[in-house]
Structure 1
């Protein structure tokens, strides 16, 4: 039992990131699907709305549950949030680029491209999040 507890403690951040990463990805994909398939929005507009809503969810879950970053002052909160959104904004450029290449240039299925895109973006976002919420 102690071995399992030690392994959990050793990989806790990664496991929590994976759980909330899956939930964030589900939000992203479901919002994207809804906007493109039900509302018939342009895929880039749908991708950007899906990005915003999933990043908002990811900020609070990453801060609270994954990296256990403490809420201190209002100023510190907004600085951290700004850094998080800036870093995710950088990954949005990659996200939009993958979507454009997959859909407009390669003519792949919109949802297939979205799934491939999410695997790449998750890895990049983990690196950024680890830096933003680093323990002091």
Structure 2
């Protein structure tokens, strides 16, 4: 039997990853913007997408008070900033040190980041607190 939370997280994690890599690819390949800056822009857009989908569809957070939602967003963003740092370090290592393709590096970084983000969301951000 499948755990509904994990299945939903995988589905929305894949969609968030698609958003992240699509935005990154658009900026790097089409607009020829530096990969670090492009990765940061892609991160901002995908974090907003992930917050909404994780809150509503994955962890079924029941918070409705503005202050509680704001606390969730701040907590969610804090852990996503940490994962952005991991993302950028992995990309730097793979691209600048090991000379791999930017898209390949982005995919590898996203695998690590998705695992980190699940743990932080499940245990720290959306702990099914009711307001």
Give the TM interval when normalised to the shorter protein: over 0.9
> Is 2:116 the partner of 1:124?
yes
Q: Which of these residues, 77, 81, 91, is aligned with residue 83 of structure 2?
A: 91
Look up the match of 1:19.
Answer: 11
| Superimposed CA distance per residue, residues 83-117 of structure 1 (whole angstroms, 9 cap, x where no aligned partner) | 00001101111001001111111111001101111
**Segment of structure 1 superposing worse, 88-97 or 67-76:** 67-76
Q: Is the 8 A contact 2:62 2:128 kept in 1?
A: no
Q: TM-score, normalised by structure 1?
A: 0.91
Look up the match of 1:69.
Answer: 61
Give the 3-state SS of the residue equivalent to 2:62 in structure 1: coil
- Distance in 1, Cα, partners of 2:120 & 2:87: 14
Q: Is the 8 A contact 2:86 2:113 kept in 1?
A: yes
Extract unaligned runs of 5+ from structure 2: none
Runs of 4+, deviation exceeding 2 Å: none
Q: Which of these residues, 104, 108, 116, is aligned with residue 96 of structure 2?
A: 104
Extract unaligned runs of 5+ from structure 1: 1-6
Identify the structure with bigger relative contact order (alpha carbons < 8 Å, sequence gap 6+): 2
Look up the match of 2:28.
Answer: 36
RMSD of aligned Cα (Å): 0.8
Give the 3-state SS of the residue equivalent to 1:41 in structure 2: coil
| Pairwise CA distance, 1:134 | 1.2
| Pairwise CA distance, 1:135 | 2.0
* Count of residue pairs brought into register by the alignment: 128
- Distance in 2, Cα, partners of 1:76 & 1:135: 11
- Distance in 2, Cα, partners of 1:70 & 1:79: 13
Higher radius of gyration, 1 or 2: 1
